[in-house]
Structure formats: structure tokens, C-alpha cells
Amino acid sequence: MTVIDANRMHEIETRYPEYFHRSFRQRFGGLMIVIATLLYSLYAVWFFDLPKLFAEAHWERVGIYLSQWVSYDVQPDFRIQDDGSIEVRYPRFSPLGDNPHPDWLAHNPDGSITVSISGTSRTVTVSKSETIVTAHGLSVPVELSGGAPEVVGPVPDWMTVYDDNVLADLGFAGNVSISVDRVKIRKRFIGWANFIFDTQSSFFDKPAGEVVSLIVSGPRIKPDQTNLSLAFDDIWNNSEWQHGDVWTKLFQTIVMAFLGTLLGALAAFPLAFMAARNITPNRFLNQVLKRFFDFLRSVDMLIWALFLTRAFGPGPLAGSGAIFLTETGTLGKLYSEGLENIDNKPREGIKSTGAQTVLVHRYGIMPQIVPVIVSQTLYQWESNVRGATIIGAVGAGGIGLKLWEAMRTNANWENVAYMVILILIVVFLFDAASNALRHRLMGTKAH
């Protein structure tokens, strides 16, 4: 066992004061951060009234919206006529087309109609005097002969009885609304209805093999147009999914992001040289330009888009202008800070040879700053593809406006899902492309 005397201990304390004479911040800094974070979290809970917010939130709508993203419904309407016959009607723009004959709807010999909601476990049989709903292992008759529908027997928990209506909730598969002279069924299907061809297309409701055969070698459907051209027109002008308009708006978004970023980089590049203190020794000019950059950055891109849509009207020009103003400020600040952090030795060496200022910048500064410029510009370009979607919602054009219109109807969530997936794919591709280009230009390997 080694014994350390007082002199040796004093020598160690003198040599390593950071371990033996720590400041208050060093000793309790971590604990103070934890306490401050906890206090701030409690303040946020109180300020936003989170318990009330969570208690009053409509969490059931989350499942409804998500189900509508990946499914669609068909709503047959059964009208019981005075003579006891049953008339089947569909909404005007039914995904089944103008003359539907679905295989899940069967006409029985006794005049009743049976609808399979989900296989044989959930069915609805409609007759002139009663409707039988089969679900959750039960068959519940609802009499239609009186002044109001009446459930025969005990009412299950998945049925709700109103004064003149009985509603049966069959879960994700759909629901049934029953009144005395009318039974309305909502049957849900997984997938996107008529995504390729709408109900007005000549190829609607044809098997995929038949469609391919018609396009490759079948007789012309329209004498003045090839089947391939007709199929493309039907897909591009699909009235339900509007592929042509969606893709055009998506291309507008990409062009807005590219044009705004390019113009912002071109404007920021020369201004950054004048804003850098070590390049332009004029403190007044440096400060004016840096505050100018701060001003452009402090006004959000969305606010610039609102201003410009009032000035130029809605459209891609306003979106490109908003990105241009924001990127001039952002890239100007990044470029100028990169210039101020360069190594001045190469620059001073070239300047000592009597070279002109342009050559000094070209060979003494640019090799050091190019990686920063390329990296930051490509990152901003990728980020602006997402930003252009947001500003499109306020009238700046592009797919953002189309997305907002679909969301505002609160009924086209499958179209919203389609556009969101397109945006995600574009952002992913641009991220991969910008990373590859950045690593290629900087001479590093991508991981």
C-alpha cells in the first residue's frame, strides 16, 4: 500500500487543479440542467393544459382517417317501394361505375337481397318487411313494418337505436343504417379504387391481362387513336385521381425549389465575399450585409410566400421568389461564415507573389470554400423541396396547393395519401442524389 504524504498530495492538486478544485458549474452543472429541464416540462404541461387536451382529443378520428388513407367504400342504397320490391341505388360517382353488378350483392328467390359486408361472418339481408344483420356471431332482425324500425330481441352493443333509425357498426368492414323504407350500407374495401382507369375509361373494369392484350395487339377502340395512346390519356386524365394534374404540380414544386435555391446561391455568393471581415475590410459594409442576411432569414419562407402571392398572384412565381429571398439570407450567412473561417496562409502566399485579387480569390480561397458551398447549397436544395410543398398550401402553386385542397374536403384522404407518398419518394430521391453529388464533388465516399 502506497502512502502519499502532504507534500506529494499538494503537488498533485497543483498539477491537476481541474479535478481537485472544480467550480460550482462543473460540480452541479449536470444536475442543474436536469432540474431546469424538469421544471420547463412541468411549465409546458401547465401552459398548454396537456391533461385537458389529451382528455378532449378525438382519438377515434385517427383510426378513421388512417383507414381512409388505405381504403375506399361503396354505398349501395336499398329503397323499399310501395309494392314491396327493392330498388338498389348507388351514389352518382360510385367507384363501381354507372351499371354495377358486384358479386357481393345477391338477389334471392324470395325477392330479398343479401349483401356480404365481410365474407359470411358479416352480412345484411334486406326484405320488404325486415332487415337481418349478421355480425359478431349474432343474427339480429330489425322489423320494418311499423312507423319506425324495431330491433327484435336484445340490442347488441354494436347497434344503436334512434327514433327513426337503427345504426349497426360492423367495424372496419363498414356499417348499416336502417330506416322503415330505406337501408343504406357502407362497405369498405382495402386499396385505392380506380387508381389506373376511372369509370369513364374504355379500359375500366377489364382484367389486367385483357388490358395488356388490347394495348399490345388488340383492335383499336377508337379508330383515330392507338390503344396505347388511349390508355395513356385515360390514366393521365383520370378524373378521380387526376394523375396529370398531380404530377404537373409535383414538377412545379421541384422547379420552384431548384430555381429559388439556384437564384439564392447566385445572389448570396458575391454578397458573402463583401460580408466576410477577412475578405472585405470594411466593417460598415460587413455589418450592413450581415444584418440584411438576418432580415431575409428572420422572415419565414411562408410569410414571404404570402407577401408575394398578394403582389404577383398565386402561382409558382411567388413560390420561387419566396425561396429565393429566404435562401439569399441563409446561404449568404453560411457562405460568409465559411469565408471567415478559412486558413489565410494560402491566400497570403499567393498575394505575396503580386497576383491580382481575382487570382488570389480563385487559388487561395475557392479551394477551401467550395466544399462548404457545395455541401450547404445541396442541403438547402433538398430541404427546399419540402419547403416548396408547404408554401404551396398558401397559394404559391405546386403540389402543396393540391394537397391542401384534398385535405380541406375532409373526404379525399386516399388522394392525400397518394400525394404524401409521392412527396416522400421525391424527397428520398433528392436526398440520395444530393448526398451522392456532394460526396462526388468533395472526393469522399458515401456511407
CATH number of the domain where residue 403 is located: 1.10.3720.10
417 within some domain: yes
Alpha helix ranges (H) inside 136-238: 208-217, 227-236
Can you give the pLDDT at residue 346? 76
Give the model confidence (pLDDT) of 178-199 as tens digits. Answer: 998 899 999 999 989 899 998 8
Can you give the pLDDT at residue 407? 84
Closest Cα to residue 173, out of 190, 159, 161?
A: 190
Interatomic CA distance for residues 223 and 201, integer angstroms: 16
**Do 99 and 14 fall within a single domain?**
no
432 within some domain: yes
**Do 256 and 375 fall within a single domain?**
yes
**Do 35 and 175 fall within a single domain?**
no
Domain boundary (170, 190, 210) is at: 190
Sign, CA dihedral 42-47-51-53, equals negative
Query: What pTM did the predictor assign?
Result: 0.78
230 within some domain: no
**Do 186 and 300 fall within a single domain?**
no
**Do 34 and 85 fall within a single domain?**
no
163 within some domain: yes
How many CB atoms are closer than 10 A to CB 5? 8
**Do 111 and 155 fall within a single domain?**
yes
Can you give the pLDDT at residue 265? 93
Domain boundary (190, 205, 230) is at: 190
Question: Can you give the residue range of the structural domain that contains 139?
Answer: 75-190
**Do 273 and 386 fall within a single domain?**
yes
Going by their DSSP bridges, the two strands 166-169 and 122-126 should be labelled as unpaired
Interatomic CA distance for residues 300 and 88, integer angstroms: 54
**Do 170 and 266 fall within a single domain?**
no
Interatomic CA distance for residues 174 and 187, integer angstroms: 5
Can you give the pLDDT at residue 43? 92
Q: Which positions of the chain have pLDDT values less than 50?
A: none
Domains contained in the chain, number: 3
**Do 174 and 248 fall within a single domain?**
no
Q: What would the grid cell of residue 77 be?
A: 342504397
Can you give the pLDDT at residue 76? 92
**Do 27 and 100 fall within a single domain?**
no
**Do 137 and 83 fall within a single domain?**
yes
Can you give the pLDDT at residue 327? 93
Domain boundary (173, 190, 207) is at: 190
Give the model confidence (pLDDT) of 379-419 as tens digits. Answer: 888 888 888 888 888 777 788 888 888 888 777 888 989 99
**Do 274 and 382 fall within a single domain?**
yes
343 within some domain: yes
210 within some domain: no
Element of type H or E holding 88: strand 86-89
